[in-house]
Amino acid sequence: MSNKNRTTNRREFLKAAGSVAVGAALSPCGFGAAVRAATHTRRQEDVDRYDFIMPRVEFVEQPFKGRGKGPDVWNVRPGGDANLLEEFSSVVRCKIKPIKGTSNWQPQYAKPGQLNAVVTFDKLKELQKYPFLFMTGENPYKFSENQKHNLRQYILRGGFLLMDDCVVGSGGDFFYQSSYKLLEEAFGRGAVRRVPPEHEVFHNVYDLGDTGLPSLEHKRRPYNPRLPYMHGQNHGARGVFVEDRLAVFLSSTDIHCGWCDSLGHEFGRESYEKAIQMGINIIMYALSH
């Protein structure tokens, strides 16, 4: 596909998905001005009422030997999403669909209807309403062949997916490993590549320096080599590229839990800010490419 055709297809996807995407991706003015200049034509749907919505992907996790289904499933800790969206709105000055009834770490699981949108990869048509999707969990999982097909089509048609492993304490990186395998099955062997620290996703709104992806560590737990005190397992940032566009961002460091910790009780206020900055950078990269 030529660069011109790829750009045209991307623009058509964003136009169908919502106004903030069009403003951020197509306008020559700054991010904030682009969002404020966005127009709405139909008021009855959330994608028309709000500049940005961050859907969670619902999926089925698998129990595994030696452990039942873990505590952190697909709808865990909606307060993290709420904090990120609030911070994003204050920086970009856009109208986001809020997530109500949350406070940092509570509730543990989102109530029905609480998240600002929920999607699955069962039907491609529903996915195409949204240019950005968020997926997190702790346990291993698998997609059906239909879901893999829809994932591939969603990404190739211009969508963006953030996947973040919700590792707890010394738990394994089961979600990360399942996600890595899924992406290689959907896009081909070798499709999951390292996102280098000099990539613009680490520098576009906030400059995250030479470290790139934040790594969360418990500030109050003493180091024990048999019980790592970092919350995630840092494999570095990984992703799937569609030519030069980063289209899937795969994290193993549990930045979502960082979003939950605005008071800094678990990781410290600086780690919260870095996790939020990473989230904002990812969203703005996704909507402008």
Residues in the chain: 289
pLDDT band, residue 19 (cuts 50/70/90): very low
The answer to whether 149 touches 139, Cβ cutoff 8 Å, is: no
Q: Is 223 exposed, middle or buried (0-12, 13-18, 19+ CB in 10 A)?
A: exposed
Give the integer Cα–Cα distance in Å for 276 and 278.
5
Place of tokens 């829809």: 150
| Neighbouring residues of 231: CB distance < 8 A, sequence distance ≥ 6 | 167, 168, 169, 216, 217, 218, 253, 254, 257, 266, 267
Domain boundaries, the chain: 3-287
Domain 3-287 fold: Rossmann fold (3.40.50)
Give the integer Cα–Cα distance in Å for 231 and 255.
9
Residues 177-188 pLDDT 10s: 999 999 999 999
Residues 74-101 pLDDT 10s: 999 999 999 999 999 999 888 999 999 9
Residues 242-253 pLDDT 10s: 999 999 999 988
pTM for the whole structure: 0.84
Helix (H) or strand (E) holding 160: strand 160-165
